[in-house]
Structure 1
């Protein structure tokens, strides 16, 4: 054995092919490789690298549902990223579609919030449940509404999700929108599907009250146009009208006055119609 060959063997490196001015291909011998672990699995998902994911899953000794330091499994990460092929590969290798993290969220909820319809369809077809709840009582439809991705929201509604499903605070998906985003398109979709605009949570709040408090003027308008009652009171005896005045929501006060005027005109018209 010549000296160069001896050095190559001791370093654990084999040189394959011809040396050129531009490149040299190095292959580490197996005994010098670091063992694959859960971090490799998560990194493959983060890079949406399908080939690397397959390689790691073929070699790895740890469970496919190994969580990262934030308690997200590889399947959860793939669902959030919309890495559809990665989701399919992980499920094929035994990933649990119903596994939850420390906050009670599963991969389906995360895919719904981030708007990845293909992932949502696949996970549901593999047994992920619409009715599964996180620790606050929110289900997939709550998270789809909060994310505001209309194709996902529409799919869940068409597949039979109850539009007025309530979480631990008695908040419906429509209430979630009033609390978090004020998204009028998502709210309109829920209302069109039959969401109750006057439903009250355990404190007596309605979606209109919460929209007023958060100063979501356009959402207030949508709710009023669809029958929201500004005079309903919460458990403290306060209405949406009173909230608007208390917080000086001037534009919203104007909308509420217009609504009162419309109601009065309709009442007067109906009264005269019955009278004559």
Structure 2
């Protein structure tokens, strides 16, 4: 039965349990704890909204223009610091977005989660709204409370079209979130092969590591996906780099089966052979 780099069985189990816990709790995307992508649209209550926010929510551009001619401030915020622009983008109302921009709204205002309207539009997959914002000078490099940029969210949603638009507007392709994940490393860690390939075509750094010093190859083998592993290996990565626990990608790929530590995150022996084949080649 395989052991980790000659370590004792007890120490191996402790290291691997710690690694599994890190995999679960420090993915670094920030999505799991906040459930942002399970329900990205704002949960709004009428009692918390001003007239301008209500018009934005229902997409009433004519009403919005009337309000802006009156006493409503274009940058008025609700209790969670959301502007009408945030709400219009979250609910996909491009005509309202244009009305607010023409009314000289603050395009890079952030809500209580430090999300700009652009980040919110990408989270909610409202591409037309996101495009309008980019074309009117929205900053694509402002990150939210978890350190995620709009590009991180486009990658998570496998939206190559939005990712391309963001890159055309000088988004930082190597931005790291609080877990140390670049958009490329996030793509690999989430087993999103096609957008990982797209980012690599845009010169993303294949050698990026997260805060636990885990490489793209380490994340790839944890999915038991031969195609993902082969893609990363073909980029000439180092099989013997070690993470914060002293483990290599080959250690990740090994099929550890301890009764006390069920490590379902690790891959089968087929991927060990895949790695060794590339090593010998």
TM-score, normalised on structure 1?
A: 0.70
CA RMSD of aligned residues (A): 2.7
Which residue, out of 148, 154, 167, partners 1:144? 154
Match of 2:277 in 1: 261
Range that drifts further, 251-260 or 77-86 = 251-260
Counterparts of 2:134 and 2:273, CA distance in 1: 45
Match of 2:28 in 1: none
Which SS does the other structure have where 1:223 is aligned?
Answer: helix
Q: 2:224, 2:266 within 8 Å by CA — same for their partners in 1?
A: no
TM-score, normalised on structure 2?
A: 0.69
Which residue, out of 112, 116, 119, partners 2:122? 112
Counterparts of 2:78 and 2:226, CA distance in 1: 41
> Given the superposition, is the C-alpha separation of residues 185 and 80 from structure 1 closer, same or farther in structure 2, using an over 3 Å criterion?
farther
Counterparts of 2:118 and 2:243, CA distance in 1: 34
State the structure with more CA Rg.
1
Which residue, out of 111, 118, 123, partners 1:101? 111
Q: Which has the higher contact order (CA 8 A, sep 6+)?
A: 2
Q: Note the 1:155-234 alignment, pairs <5 A.
A: 155-179=165-189, 181-213=190-222, 219-234=228-243
How many Å apart are 1:69 and its aligned residue?
A: 4.2
Unaligned runs of 5+ in 2: 1-47, 257-262
How many Å apart are 1:171 and its aligned residue?
A: 1.6
Deviations 1:220-242 (A, max 9, x none): 34323433444321122112221
Counterparts of 1:187 and 1:254, CA distance in 2: 22
Q: 2:141, 2:150 within 8 Å by CA — same for their partners in 1?
A: yes
Unaligned runs of 5+ in 1: 1-36, 267-276
Q: 1:208, 1:220 within 8 Å by CA — same for their partners in 2?
A: yes
Flag the structure with higher helix content: 1
